[in-house]
């Protein structure tokens, strides 16, 4: 299952960011997923639910997915155009010489977390801890 591997990577990155921020809970993860990744939205949602089911950091969290349509640029006339996965011929000049510029990426757009008010953020790596006089 392709989506399981993708979601494992996403959750690893989200977990690392949440822990570094001192978060006790992830509330929402928002992704942009290109249709050319061939990932299926329902399968991504299923993978997210399966992978976070036993993880208290993600308990009750929400996943929001925005599917990104493929977009290409014609290498002959320069037109940028949206298309489906199979029809990439330039609609203006008919050229098959096109370059995909959107629709193959998977991006974490945002992560909403709960950070306790009394959390003392850790100093940046390499920076000395603040001292009180």
CB 10 within 8 A of CB 108: yes
Please list the pLDDT of the chain residue by residue as tens digits (133 residues): 588 899 999 999 999 999 999 999 999 999 999 999 999 999 999 999 999 999 999 999 999 999 999 999 999 999 999 999 888 999 999 999 999 999 999 999 999 999 988 655 554 444 333 333 3
Range of the domain at 61: 2-69+103-114
80 domain residue, yes or no: no
Residue 128 has φ and ψ, to the nearest 5°, of: -70, 150
Q: Does residue 6 belong to any structural domain of this protein?
A: yes
Is residue 93 in some structural domain? Answer: no
The predicted pLDDT at position 2 comes to 83
Q: What is the pLDDT of residue 109?
A: 97
What pLDDT was estimated at residue 133? 32
Q: Is residue 22 part of a domain?
A: yes
Examine residue 120 and state whether it is found in any structural domain, yes or no. Answer: no
User: Is residue 82 assigned to a domain?
Assistant: no
Torsional class of 103: left (φ above 0), alpha (ψ -120 to 50), beta (otherwise): left
How many domains in the chain? 1
The pLDDT score that the predictor gives to residue 6 is: 92
**Would residue 78 count as lying in a domain?**
no
| CATH (domain of 59) | 3.30.2320.50
- Dihedral in degrees, nearest 10, Cα atoms 53, 56, 58, 62: 70
Cβ distance 44 to 10 under 8 Å?
A: no
At residue 124, the pLDDT reads 43
Q: CA-to-CA distance for 105 and 68, rounded, in angstroms?
A: 8
């Amino acid at each position: 299952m392709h989506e399981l591997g993708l979601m494992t990577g996403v959750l690893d990155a989200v977990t690392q960011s949440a822990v570094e921020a001192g978060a006790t809970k992830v509330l929402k993860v928002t992704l942009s997923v290109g249709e050319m990744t061939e990932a299926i939205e329902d399968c991504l949602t299923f993978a997210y639910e399966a992978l976070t089911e036993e993880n208290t950091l993600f308990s009750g969290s929400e996943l929001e997915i925005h599917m990104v349509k493929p977009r290409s640029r014609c290498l002959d006339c320069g037109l940028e155009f949206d298309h489906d996965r199979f029809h990439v011929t330039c609609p203006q000049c008919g050229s098959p010489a096109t370059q995909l510029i959107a629709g193959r990426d998977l991006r974490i757009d945002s992560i909403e977390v709960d950070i306790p008010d009394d959390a003392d953020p850790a100093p940046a790596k390499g920076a000395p801890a603040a001292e009180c006089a």
